[in-house]
């Protein structure tokens, strides 16, 4: 199973108000294990950068002015995500921007059925707690000390760890490894036990009367009785 942990940074809170994506970061998982493959790009939003947004992610208009526009990276982006499940924290926000950007270049939107929202998972598991990415990192003991500002690739990497904790993936992986390690040992013990023979036969537990009764029963079954093969 292929999953893509994805995060974006933007110029503001709403694509409907003309805000744009300025950074995309994504991490690939196969069967809940990071493969080391990532996708990361800064994007020229072709507009100004509000101070409030710059304070969050630290990306200035000057820094972004020579970066590629979305239309220049869309093929690489679509190819990377493919048909994988997209795992996103607060997916409604990121998906609103991603599908808006795709619409600007006449590409098909991503189906929401392809998306897993880790914020919704966290809210179901911890309904009375803070479920921000920082709060979840603290809850699960994940080191987020590098996160002095929001950054799409760093946040995707942290979210990958959080996601595995939310779904129990780490414990599952550990159990599978332990079971695999134990299997050859168990097999060896089983084979060894098959080669052992008792030095002394165990004494019979049937009484003479029980043996006679059994013999009479077998005699009545006729010459084809299966019991005769064990005499």
Residues 76-108 pLDDT 10s: 999 999 999 999 999 999 999 999 999 999 999
pLDDT at 190 over 70: no
pLDDT score for 186: 44
Span 105-124, mean pLDDT?
96
Is the torsion defined by CA of 47, 51, 55, 59 positive or negative?
positive
3-class secondary-structure state, position 76:
helix
Range of lowest pLDDT (99-103, 132-136, 187-191)? 187-191
Give the active site residue among 32, 40, 150, 214. Answer: 150
Which pLDDT does position 183 carry in this prediction? 52
Confidence category of residue 157, pLDDT binned at 50, 70, 90: very high
Contact call for residues 105 and 77 (beta carbons, < 8 A): no
Domains of the chain as residue ranges with CATH: 2-172 (3.30.420.10)
Res 191: pLDDT:
46
pLDDT of residue 208: 78
Is 150 among the catalytic positions? yes
Q: What pLDDT is recorded for position 219?
A: 77
Q: In what order do the strands lie in the sheet with 2-10?
A: 33-42, 21-30, 2-10, 85-88, 115-117
> What's the predicted TM-score (pTM) here?
0.72
pLDDT attached to residue 171: 54
The pLDDT, as a whole number, for residue 170 is: 61
Distance CA 82, CA 112 (A): 14
Mean pLDDT of 158-172: 85
Q: What is the pLDDT of residue 169?
A: 59
pLDDT over 70 percentage in the chain: 80
77-98 as b/e, with b when 16 or more CB fall inside 10 Å?
Answer: beebbeebebbbbebebbbbbb
Mean pLDDT across the chain: 87
């Amino acid at each position: 199973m292929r999953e893509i942990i994805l995060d974006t940074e933007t110029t503001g809170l709403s694509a409907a108000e003309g805000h744009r994506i300025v950074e995309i970061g994504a991490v690939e998982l196969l069967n809940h294990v990071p493969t080391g493959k990532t996708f990361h790009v800064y994007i020229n939003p072709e507009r100004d950068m509000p101070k409030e947004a710059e304070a969050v992610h630290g990306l200035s208009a000057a820094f972004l002015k020579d970066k590629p526009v979305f239309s220049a990276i869309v093929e690489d982006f679509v190819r990377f995500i493919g048909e994988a499940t997209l795992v996103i924290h607060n997916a409604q926000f990121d998906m609103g921007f991603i599908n808006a950007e795709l619409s600007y270049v006449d590409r098909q939107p991503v189906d929401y059925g392809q998306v897993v929202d880790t914020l919704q998972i966290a809210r179901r598991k911890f309904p009375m707690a803070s479920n921000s990415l920082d709060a979840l990192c603290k809850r699960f003991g994940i080191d987020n000390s590098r996160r002095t500002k929001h950054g799409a690739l760093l946040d995707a990497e942290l979210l990958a760890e959080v996601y595995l904790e939310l779904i129990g993936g780490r414990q599952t992986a550990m159990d599978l490894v332990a079971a695999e390690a134990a299997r050859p040992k168990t097999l060896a013990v089983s084979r060894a036990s098959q080669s052992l023979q008792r030095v002394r036969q165990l004494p019979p537990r049937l009484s003479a009367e029980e043996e006679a009764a059994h013999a009479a029963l077998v005699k009545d079954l006729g010459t084809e009785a299966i019991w005769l093969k064990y005499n």
